[in-house]
Amino acid sequence: MLSSISHENINFDPNEQDIESIVLNFVSNSLKQNWIKSNSSLTIKKLTDGLSNILFAVYSHENNGVVVKIYGKNSDLIVDRQAEIRYLIYLAQFHMSPSILLTFNNGFIYEYLSGSPISNDDEKKSLLIARKLAEFHSIPLIDKQVKGQLVEKLRHYINLLNGTNEELYKRIKLSLSSYLNDISWLKITEDINKIEEIIDKKNSKWSNLTIVVCHNDTQCLNFLYDEKKTNKISLIDFEHCSRNFWLFDVFNHFIEYAGLDNEEPDYDNKYPKRNKQKQWLEIYLSNALFLNDKFEKQMSIDELCDLGDCLRAPIHLYWSLWSFLEALLNHQSMDKFDYVKYGRYRLKQYEKYKQEFFSSVN
């Protein structure tokens, strides 16, 4: 699949002074799109610094456009970029992701999707997300593998953090690593082993829970609502995509209602009450075609909510470890967001809920 996408042997430095002109010239010269006539007919706009990447939109006056994604520094250690592109190509076949038009050494170009990010407080549009996510999860798995990858991802992160990965320490910001010396990576490793035991225990609810193609980063900002043209929702940012429990995406979405406005989000008050969870799940389940003959059909919505609540612990752990890695590998991003503080806060949330998860096997 990857061989069908054109590739240019070029690297972009997002800190370069005239990076916008360089990107504009690259798009104009490299893409064979009939709406690209000349540089003068194009507009470039920096969409966001993101938390891991730099995105530029390049578009014409007729609203045709592309997005140029430049990977964040050292993000290749955290994210499997080949897997990300493979998922994008696969999902585009089902109209669930924008099409990739071209790759380059530290990024790629994909079709621009019109729409605005959905607000965390927009309950009406959140219910539209329920339907969209159910449709997304109904896509067949990309391969014949059916084992979830949650533990695999957690292990990948912890092995980068616990001092055993030489490649990391070639690139690490040592002055930052001192801020994490009090964290017991061994204890977290033991906890990850426990998580695996619980998930893999035969005939448990976890072992019977359906594995799907999961987005894994279902914050509201990754859902675009096109109010002007289609009144439809689109998903973006697939770099965390993997096989996982469908409930992971759902309850990660609920957790992310707290937003990222600061490093200590108000998870307690922003997390939806049970009646709101059930309202959301009712819409999701009515559109989740993949569950028609699955184990979950035997469960009540309250039972599903109980399981989802238990998932808060591994969800917080996932994003805590990711945040620590982001701080260590891309220390310049700390000027805009304190990833160490955020990671510690999410680790605190993990500790708060982990016994609930560990006892969920009974």
- Tell me how far apart the alpha carbons of residues 39 and 21 are, in angstroms, rounded to a whole number: 9
What pLDDT, on a 0 to 100 scale, did the predictor assign at position 175? 65
**Domain spans, the chain:** 2-111, 116-358
User: Of the ranges 76-80, 300-304, 331-335, which one carries the lowest mean pLDDT score?
Assistant: 331-335
- In this prediction, residues 248-273 reach a mean pLDDT of 96
| Residue among 255, 209, 219, 205 nearest 362 (CA) | 205
Q: Is 229 exposed, middle or buried (0-12, 13-18, 19+ CB in 10 A)?
A: exposed
User: Of the ranges 123-127, 135-139, 273-277, which one carries the lowest mean pLDDT score?
Assistant: 123-127
User: Of the ranges 58-62, 78-82, 93-97, 269-273, which one carries the lowest mean pLDDT score?
Assistant: 58-62
pLDDT tens per residue, range 77-136: 899 999 999 999 999 999 999 999 999 999 999 999 988 999 988 888 889 999 999 999
Q: What number does CATH give the domain 2-111? A: 3.30.200
Kindly state the percentage of the chain with pLDDT values over 70: 93
pLDDT tens per residue, range 4-35: 789 999 999 988 889 999 999 899 888 866 66
Q: What number does CATH give the domain 116-358? A: 3.90.1200.10
What single letter denotes the amino acid at residue 61? H
- Tell me how far apart the alpha carbons of residues 223 and 204 are, in angstroms, rounded to a whole number: 33
Give the strand order in the sheet containing 233-235.
Answer: 116-117, 223-225, 233-235
- Tell me how far apart the alpha carbons of residues 262 and 253 are, in angstroms, rounded to a whole number: 17
**Unique residue bearing structure tokens 């990754």:** 222
Average pLDDT, the chain: 90
